Amino acid sequence: MSNSDEAVPAEEVTPESESKSESESELEPGIWSDARAAVAEAAAGSGSGDDALERELDPMKVLAAERDEYLLALQRVQAEFENYRKRIQRLQDEQSARAATDLVTKLLPVLDTLDLAQAHQGEGGAGSEDAKALQAARSMLLETLAKEGLERVNEAEVPFDPEVHDAVAKCEGEGEGGVPVIDEVLRSGYRWRGRVLRPAMVRVRG
């Protein structure tokens, strides 16, 4: 019998090798299950609503959050500047109105002087050059102030109004419906942009 005809003995499996294979097959699934459990535990510990961790993992969300913060800051600064601008504008308007009121108040004695000068001229001197120049200056000043908001209170035969009239004298006569009437204006009053600067001195009837 030749060597080629000899039967090749089958590989002998020892109990040791068999037990080793079984241990390896049992060990590998256990390692993966432990790893999966560790990952699940870490995810549960961090919480599904952990926005900080999520932003760290997503750069686009980080940029979006920064953009929103800058936008809110810009809107807040813009609103504060708009309020500041309105406040400054209101203060400037109040100062301008107060300065104009003070100036017009100082001009009232000038208007009174012009009124007295015109009244003293009488009909005889009304045609002179000086009288014409005085009347022209008085008219020009009144027209200029009227365009800016000055209003004269010098009408007679109108009902007495304590807000714009100061009754310093009274004469006999009847009023209108029991209300006193202005008989004569002794000194003109003035309103500046709707506000009474000086009431008119009047003599009332009734």
What is the spatial distance between Cα 14 and Cα 131, in angstroms, rounded to a whole number?
Answer: 146
Between residues 4 and 103, which one has the greater pLDDT? 103
Task: Decide if 174 is inside a domain.
Answer: yes
Residue that the structure tokens 């000038």 belong to:
110
pLDDT category, 185, cuts 50, 70, 90? very high
Task: Decide if 197 is inside a domain.
Answer: yes
Task: Check the CA dihedral 134-198-166-155 and report its sign.
Answer: positive
Between strands 200-205 and 165-171, the pairing is: parallel
pLDDT category, 186, cuts 50, 70, 90? very high
Q: What's residue 38's pLDDT?
A: 56
Task: Decide if 121 is inside a domain.
Answer: no
pLDDT category, 179, cuts 50, 70, 90? confident
Q: What's residue 204's pLDDT?
A: 93
Task: Decide if 172 is inside a domain.
Answer: yes
Task: Decide if 136 is inside a domain.
Answer: no
Of 197, 201, 87, 88, the C-alpha closest to 148 is 197
pTM for the model stands at 0.58
Task: Decide if 138 is inside a domain.
Answer: no
Beta carbons of 185 and 205 less than 8 angstroms apart = no
Average pLDDT score over the chain: 78
Domain that includes residue 181, residue range: 150-206
Task: Decide if 84 is inside a domain.
Answer: no
Beta carbons of 203 and 183 less than 8 angstroms apart = yes
Task: Decide if 157 is inside a domain.
Answer: yes
Beta carbons of 191 and 153 less than 8 angstroms apart = yes
Q: 174: domain CATH number?
A: 2.30.22.10
Number of domains in the chain: 1
